């Protein structure tokens, strides 16, 4: 039987994967695969999941978790030089990257879609010495995911992010930023910015024009504008019309540099990102994935 390394995060979402472990194993065994599980633990580096890769020829890595779990596994694979394809079971709170690739929420359907697919090389983002699969961001509210209690996320799901975001409103202020790429140069004030490899963040489809295999990242900068103009802008976001707004800078690029003197953090796929300055690139076809829906 061919072997599959199964890395699952029991803390993701509403702990859904725990009740589905037997079904995941069963459907793979019926397809001629042996599952070798690895449980993600808060106090153990996920890189340990790959300790046996020198001795075992794995067909692919199956990941059950949200964007943060996928991100950590992809970064660990890069560190140890593992280049086998991945398959995604989206069981996290948002699952933005899995949805972007067309993975269904139903675990059994996702398994079958993976097992009946060919490998697709999709783009991968890099930020300084790390990788991101869905989005890198900075500015206001970008560390909400980092600050949101895991138990609260598991209890009330995406609502936990929104509640935490409300707590951050007193810190609302404009931020100085300098951005440079061959397509765009900007030096001024903004509220926040996102660099997408995927399309959505927290299930908001902000980068509707992003593609998985075009070799480009979609950059969205929400400029600092008078408070009175924010509500109309938010309405445009809900309608998907914000990319053409005068209050938003939007462009595609494969390489950009970002500098800021502000005391703000960066976020990559819901986890803490590196400090400024940032050098962000798109690695065209840098990630091999099974189950991608065309």
User: What's the rounded mean pLDDT across residues 5-31?
Assistant: 92
Look up the pTM and report it: 0.90
DSSP three-state, residue 195: strand
Catalytic residues: 271
**Number of other residues whose CB lies within 10 A of the CB of residue 269:** 30
Angstrom distance (rounded) from CA 192 to CA 99:
24
What residues does each domain of the chain span?
2-116, 130-282
Please tell me the predicted confidence (pLDDT) of residue 42.
85
Please tell me the predicted confidence (pLDDT) of residue 159.
42
**Fold match between domain 2-116 and domain 130-282:** no
251 or 144, greater pLDDT: 251
Q: Taking all residues of the chain, what is their mean pLDDT, rounded to a whole number?
A: 89
Taking only the tens place, the pLDDT of each residue in 220-249 is 999 999 888 988 988 999 899 999 999 999
| Kind plus residue range of the DSSP H or E element containing 279 | strand 278-290
Please tell me the predicted confidence (pLDDT) of residue 148.
47
- DSSP code of residue 45: -
Please tell me the predicted confidence (pLDDT) of residue 123.
98
Share of the chain above pLDDT 70, in %: 89
Please provide the CATH number assigned to the domain covering 130-282.
2.60.200.40
Question: Does the pLDDT at position 113 exceed 80?
Answer: yes
User: What's the rounded mean pLDDT across residues 268-294?
Assistant: 94
> Mind giving me the DSSP string for 196-240?
ESSSEETTEE--TT--TTSS-EEEEEEE---GGGHHHHHHHHHHT
196 or 167, greater pLDDT: 196
Please state which architecture CATH assigns to domain 2-116. Answer: 3-Layer(aba) Sandwich (3.40)
Question: Does the pLDDT at position 160 exceed 90?
Answer: no
Please tell me the predicted confidence (pLDDT) of residue 153.
45
Kindly report which listed range (135-144, 174-183, 250-259) carries the lowest average pLDDT score: 135-144
Question: Does the pLDDT at position 190 exceed 50?
Answer: yes
Please tell me the predicted confidence (pLDDT) of residue 171.
60
């Amino acid at each position: 039987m061919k072997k599959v390394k199964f890395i699952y995060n029991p803390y993701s979402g509403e702990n859904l994967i725990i009740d589905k472990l037997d079904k995941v194993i069963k459907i793979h065994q019926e397809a001629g695969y042996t599952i070798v599980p690895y449980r993600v633990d808060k106090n153990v580096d996920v890189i340990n999941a790959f300790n046996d890769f020198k001795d075992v020829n794995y067909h692919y890595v199956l990941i059950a978790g949200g964007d943060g779990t996928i991100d950590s596994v992809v970064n660990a694979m890069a560190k140890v030089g593992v280049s086998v394809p991945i398959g995604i079971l989206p069981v996290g709170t948002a699952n933005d990257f899995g949805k972007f690739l067309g993975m269904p929420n139903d675990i059994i359907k996702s398994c079958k879609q993976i097992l009946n697919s060919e490998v697709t090389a999709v783009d991968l983002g890099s930020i300084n010495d790390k990788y991101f699969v869905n989005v890198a961001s900075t500015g206001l509210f970008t560390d909400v995911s980092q600050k949101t209690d895991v138990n609260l996320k598991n209890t009330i799901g995406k609502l936990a992010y929104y509640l935490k975001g409300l707590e951050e409103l007193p810190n609302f202020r404009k931020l100085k930023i300098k951005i440079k790429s061959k397509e765009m140069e900007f030096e001024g004030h903004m509220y926040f910015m996102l660099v997408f490899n995927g399309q959505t963040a927290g299930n908001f489809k902000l980068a509707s024009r992003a593609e998985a295999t075009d070799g480009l990242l979609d950059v969205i900068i929400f400029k600092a504008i008078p408070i009175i103009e924010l509500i109309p802008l938010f309405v445009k976001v809900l309608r998907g019309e914000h990319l053409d707004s005068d209050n938003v800078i939007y462009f595609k690029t494969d390489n950009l540099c970002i500098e800021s003197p502000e005391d703000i953090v960066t976020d990559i796929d819901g986890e803490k990102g590196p400090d400024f300055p940032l050098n962000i690139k798109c690695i065209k076809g840098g990630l091999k994935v099974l189950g991608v829906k065309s």
